[in-house]
Structure 1
């Protein structure tokens, strides 16, 4: 029997009889079930519940029921809380952290959820160590951890000082356990209200986060504290709404509703293993390996400066789902827009997809794009997802803004992530690969093993020809007597280089291993990913189990499984 659905049809007379029954534990059980019923039944007169509904927000138990498979929630700490007076269960305030086991699409997960209707989510409305206990339990069980964040969730209130009669040195309130969990299991967060302090830290101590337009905000400190510190008079939305944090990379995705946020987390989890010690879940889609899309032969314009739709290109290559839609699930669409990342399936096998968007700054990678690349490649490497790397990289962004944003320093993180990844990477150069950034993306494995091909639209070198000619022949071009003469000379120089830049010239000298028909991309990629799942990824998992499957518990010196 689930704690959220206690069944107690005994009358008050029955309970009075049970009190006098010294041979049974029925009365304590009846008290337990009565309290569980009270906690799980919304009180329409409660000011916190009224406020929650007035803001068009689901109540904490409604959220859990909405997110998890029906009837799958098994709560831990179902009666944790504080009575107003010892033994007074009529005026009982439950902990504002609700947690337990459940299932998402029939897969076991662990959920922690904030109840903003109790003390606005402040830590002094919770039970010490409860959230940290849950995150540690999820890690030990090797199941994904999902947080439904609404409040400060581990932060504090100055009112606590009066209650305990002293101030205190702040602790991390379970953040250490969050970092431990992140090392082993997928961690995802839905921001479904204002998220402050350590809850904001929890948002970024995870692998995926999504916030809801107009409903959720994130900040280190809320408007009243900001007003006293910086004299800025800001609303919650202008301080930390989605237009701030879904465009700077603090939060990965934006949703239009709570239900949409939960669905995005379900999709995210569907591509990941339950822990780093397991293979990603294979789910056959029925799509054919030999599907050859005619549109791929013309999707890259012959004019090299013309843009195209990279998302359409990705959808033509990866699996279609049973309904005929794409299996591509994009992450971070609203930030680092020159880079496109996400998960997809090939022959049912999950993989990461990495590319650039020529419609954003020509595809040149900036500081945000570098951060986005590094985080995503590290995520795929951590959970053993092969990466389909579609390269059209004109190089690092240049100019004063790029320099002020420390683009090259962030670029080093992206390059290191690509170079150090141990998962298989299938690199397909679909158009440009210029400069240091182009080299990093087009040759992510250095000189090590890796599969790489190019399309006939490939175009590469130390610099793009147009800009490179301007630099190399500056003196001659500046010496032209008229602008018309200068343009004529520029066209002559471009003509001389046109044959040299033909990618087949590079293939002649084995500078690129193979040039393929774009229509063969899907069949080749499917063959690659099937081989990776059969022969490469199992070895990676085995090595992890041997190396990291046990840890030492500091307090006892005994070993235990992570």
Structure 2
């Protein structure tokens, strides 16, 4: 249905900027959802942002701006491009003009090499528009094609406020980070209703594709926000760690002292006693500078952005408090993704090592742990940014390799006095090597024999012996580590290497 054509410019603009019907605004408000233009007001530094395609479908009633806002403006003082669904207009669904607007703003980001923000709140495609927006050369598929082009060129940041349904679910998946609003955000290829109709599965939306599920189980979500203001603030905060594009560097911030902690006392003498690596990280980095990524997913590995003396770094750390810090297929995926993102944008990497190795057993072999572990090793090995590996306690087996061990050309491999580097721990090693001998001994003789062999093994893997053999570059006290890292990252900042000459690797998937 066409609108009246005799309206003034002001009337037209006001009508468009109101969005959809009042009842849809009220429905969103009842769920704690902000209007799309209010979301953008919180994102942009000021009101000077410029909107393109405002009058798209303006002559059709009920489709102001065709349900999406595309704009260019300043965030953190830097130019960015944004697309934002308006869920008061046809539930934020995509029509032909919606798709064209998104493609055009992506093309602007490509031309200017500026970051791209996606504010997603969409029920998916409008079936009525499928011929115009689905199969053709500038159809919806071009959006994903452009995302792949933008990947690694500029940061792509997704905030998911509501649904991201069907093919639209791939927008978050191609972004560098996905921030999801608890209780409202969801993503799925097929809705619960479709799942019941097609495969007979009865499942709730939250179980199938809710924010908590994706942030803790599937790993598709990176940050779980309590509400929309928190989600938008998280997006702005994350962006402060990012450069504008791959050709620039993250801005140096004002240095802030770390939280005062006795790092040495945090590390238990017994290699098998767990401790919280978060506490150790807190004592190394600038206070309140840790932005954790995938905090709820694969908790045995910690990944996040931080600053040391104002310099942005990426941290990959084993977490002994969770599953003993053993690496699983999910934690390997988590590490590979994070390392790749940091390497793409020139962010130096710090590995904090306390790892017994990769998990073993039938369940993980069936889940493809070898294949997934190879992803982590490949990502770490090929990363050309400055890399420092710090062996905090144990570094056993392939865990040493995955955490940027000496063979993988870290710029430095540093050990604390508490470090142990070996194929396996003393207990397992003695049992493996001397199993028959132990079995042949009288039971009363076994404890002394085992203790003696463990002592011999400990002496063989003594960290100072490894330093003498130049396997590690330095052994330092934990309380000197922050200053050492700050100096090294500054000195390594000019690193400029090509990993190997080729078109691209055959990536292990």
TM over 0.5: yes
Give every structure 1 segment of 4 or more consecutive aligned residues whose post-TM-superposition deviation is greater than 4 Å: 164-171, 291-294, 484-488
2:162 matches 1:193 = yes
1:514 corresponds to which of 455, 474, 481:
474
2:75 matches 1:108 = no
Measure how far apart 1:125 and its partner are. 7.3
Q: Closer, same or farther in 2 for the Cα pair 1:187/1:91, shift >3 Å?
A: closer
**Aligned residue pair count:** 494
Aligned to 1:560: none
Measure how far apart 1:363 and its partner are. 0.6
2:48 matches 1:52 = no
CA distance in 1, matches of 2:370, 2:387: 23
CA contact (8 A) 2:80 2:114 kept: yes
CA distance in 2, matches of 1:429, 1:199: 42
Aligned to 2:240: 270
Q: SS state of the match for residue 79, structure 2?
A: strand
Measure how far apart 1:532 and its partner are. 2.7
Q: SS state of the match for residue 95, structure 2?
A: helix
Q: Show CA shifts across 1:42-62 (max 9, x none).
A: 56x534333322332111111
Measure how far apart 1:341 and its partner are. 0.9
2:200 matches 1:231 = yes
CA distance in 1, matches of 2:173, 2:261: 42
2:453 matches 1:493 = yes
CA distance in 2, matches of 1:327, 1:149: 27
Larger Rg: 1
2:487 corresponds to which of 527, 536, 539:
527
Aligned to 1:354: 316
CA distance in 2, matches of 1:485, 1:103: 74
CA distance in 2, matches of 1:140, 1:280: 20
Aligned to 1:504: 464
2:36 matches 1:65 = no
CA distance in 2, matches of 1:256, 1:498: 48
CA contact (8 A) 1:299 1:308 kept: yes
Q: Closer, same or farther in 2 for the Cα pair 1:160/1:132, shift >3 Å?
A: closer
CA contact (8 A) 2:55 2:64 kept: no
CA RMSD of superposed structures (Å): 2.7
1:279 corresponds to which of 232, 244, 249:
249
CA contact (8 A) 2:406 2:413 kept: no
Structure 2 length normalisation: TM-score?
A: 0.90
Aligned to 1:323: none
Q: Show CA shifts across 1:440-497 (max 9, x none).
A: 3242662x46112110001111111111222111112333454x65445433332333
Moved more, 226-235 or 183-192: 226-235
Q: Closer, same or farther in 2 for the Cα pair 1:479/1:34, shift >3 Å?
A: same
Aligned to 1:477: 438
Q: Closer, same or farther in 2 for the Cα pair 1:427/1:338, shift >3 Å?
A: same
CA distance in 2, matches of 1:264, 1:519: 31
Aligned to 2:506: none
Aligned to 1:9: none
Q: Closer, same or farther in 2 for the Cα pair 1:459/1:116, shift >3 Å?
A: same
Aligned to 1:31: 8
Structure 1 length normalisation: TM-score?
A: 0.82
Moved more, 166-175 or 251-260: 166-175
